[in-house]
Amino acid sequence: MKFAVLVFPGSNCDLDMYHAIKDELSEEVEYVWHDEQDLSAYDGILVPGGFSYGDYLRCGAMANQSNVMSEVKKAAEAGKPVLGVCNGFQILTEAGLLPGALLRNKKLKFMCKNVDLKVANNNTMFTNQYAQDEVISIPIAHGEGNYYCDEETLKQLQDNNQIVFTYSGENPNGSLADIAGIVNERGNVLGMMPHPERAISEVIGGAEGLALFKSIVKQWRESNVNQA
C-alpha cells in the first residue's frame, strides 16, 4: 500500500506519520507538498497535525485553499482512506469532508498529554483491529480540539454510527458528546484530535495507535483481493 503524507507550511507531525508507515508498517510512503495537483498514485492519504499556515484565520482554513486539497477530495470521492489528525482533522472540516468544527479548548489552554479513548465503532476501515468499546491511551496536543456541531448533525452522527472515538473518563477539551474522532457517512474519511502516530511503539510510551494504521492496510488488502 502506498501512502501520501501531506506537508503544509507549519506541519510538524508529518515526520511521525512517515515513521509510522515506513518503519512500523513497512509500507510505501512519500511526503507530498501542498501544491501537488495529482494524488492518483497513492492508495491512502494522511493529513498530519501541526499549525498549517500558522493557524491564521482559523485552524485549517488556509490549508484548505491549497492545490492538494482538491485532490484529497477526489481521493475521498473515490473511496480511498483519508486520515486527518489534529490540525488534519481541522483541515478536513474546513474542506467539508467532515461535518462540524473544532473550537478553542474549554479551558482556553493548549493541552499536551495522554488521554483515554473508547473505540465507539470498530466496524470501520480505521478501527477493525480494535475491539468494540476498547479503551486505548493516545496522546493529544492541541489548543482547538473542542468538537462542535448542531443538534441535527449530532443526531446524524449518532444514527449513522459515525462517531468512532470518544474520550473515556476525562473530556480534556469540552468536545460535544465526548467526541474525539468521526468518519464521513461512507466511512473512508476519519478525523480525530488525538495522535495515533505518536503511539506506535513501546519505546515512545505505547503502541496502541498502531492498530489504526494496521486496520487501514488490512482493509485495503482485503479490498484488492476481492476485486481481483
Looking at this protein, which amino acid is placed at residue 98?
A: L
Query: For 59, what's the count of Cα atoms within 13 Å in the CB-facing half-sphere?
Result: 25
Task: Give the CA dihedral 66, 67, 73, 75, nearest 10 degrees.
Answer: -130
Active site residue 149: no
Active site residue 195: yes
Residue among 71, 94, 144, 197 flagged as catalytic: 197
Contact 87, 154 (CB under 8 A): no
Looking at this protein, which amino acid is placed at residue 40?
A: S
Helix (H) or strand (E) holding 220: helix 210-227
Contact 130, 187 (CB under 8 A): no
**How far, in Å, CA of 23 to CA of 70, rounded?**
29
Active site residue 112: no
Residue among 94, 144, 195, 208 flagged as catalytic: 195
Residue among 86, 94, 144, 208 flagged as catalytic: 86
Helix (H) or strand (E) holding 7: strand 2-7
Active site amino acids:
86, 195, 197
